Amino acid sequence: MISRLYGVYGVGGCGRSVMPLAYQQIQKKCEENTDIVFIDDNFDGRSANGYPVISFDDFVAVDAKEKLVSLAVSNGAIRELLANKCQENGLPFFSIEAQNCDIFDDVVIGEGSILCSGVSITSNIRIGRHFQANLHSYVEHDCIIGDFVTFAPGVKCNGQIKIEDHVFIGAGAVIRQGVPGNPVVIGRNAFIGMGAVVLSDVAPNSTVVGVPAKPLTNC
Q: Tell me which of 130, 136, 141, 166 is the catalytic residue.
A: 141
* Annotation marks residue 166 as catalytic: no
CA distances from 149 to 84, 99, 130, 165, 192 (A): 16, 21, 7, 6, 12
Which of 60, 90, 64, 69 has the alpha carbon at shortest distance from 7?
69
Quickly list H helices, the chain: 13-29, 56-61, 76-88
125-127 and 207-209 strand pairing: unpaired
Residues with catalytic annotation? Answer: 141
